[in-house]
Structure 1
Amino acid sequence: MSERFFLYDETVETKTRFVSFMGEHQRFDLAIIQSDRYFGKHLVLDIQSNRFAIIGADDLKEPGYLEFAYKLNEEDASELRDFLGQLV
């Protein structure tokens, strides 16, 4: 077996918020992770769907970004966008 080649292997301090809320048609169970990585953006994990995305204010303005990342319809994505807009 060859020696493993790491691109990086770092440990960083994070701040993690777990939040659950009910939208009009869908429940959201999120883990929102903040660290010094990803240029100040948040790592947002949707625990129910096993999907995640790196999200900043610019990503929330990008049409279709949340719909694609979390496989949501426009209405559910709008609810998630409204919530995340308060954080980032």
Structure 2
Amino acid sequence: MEERFFLYDDTVATKTRFVSFLGENERHDLALLYSDRHYGKTIVLDMQSNKFAIIGPDDLNEQGYLEHAFSMSEENAEELRSFLFELI
């Protein structure tokens, strides 16, 4: 069997925060992973939809970013955006 070639194989310390909130239309169950990777951005996992995105303050200001990343309506994305501004 051929030996596998890894581009990288690192173990890093992370801080994980589990947070849930109820919006006007839906519940959001999130896991936020903080590490020194991804240029200081946070990995946000939506445990309801099994989707994730690497998000920083600049991404929250980008129109349509959350809507696309989490396949959600503009209204639900605005609730999530407002909430994440407090955490990221």
TM-score interval, smaller chain: over 0.9
1:15 matched to 2:15? The reply is: yes
Hey, what does 2:74 align to over in structure 1? 74
Alpha-carbon distance in structure 1 between the residues aligned to 2:32 and 2:83 = 12
- Tell me the C-alpha RMSD between the 2 structures: 0.6
1:40 matched to 2:35? The reply is: no
1:2 CA displacement: 1.6
User: Aligned pair count?
Assistant: 88
Structure 1 residue runs without a partner (length 5+): none
Following TM superposition, where does structure 1 have runs of at least 4 consecutive aligned residues deviating by more than 2 angstroms?
Answer: none
Hey, what does 1:31 align to over in structure 2? 31
Hey, what does 1:53 align to over in structure 2? 53
> Kindly, what percent of the aligned residue pairs are identical?
66
Structure 2 residue runs without a partner (length 5+): none
The letter of the residue matching 1:53 is: A
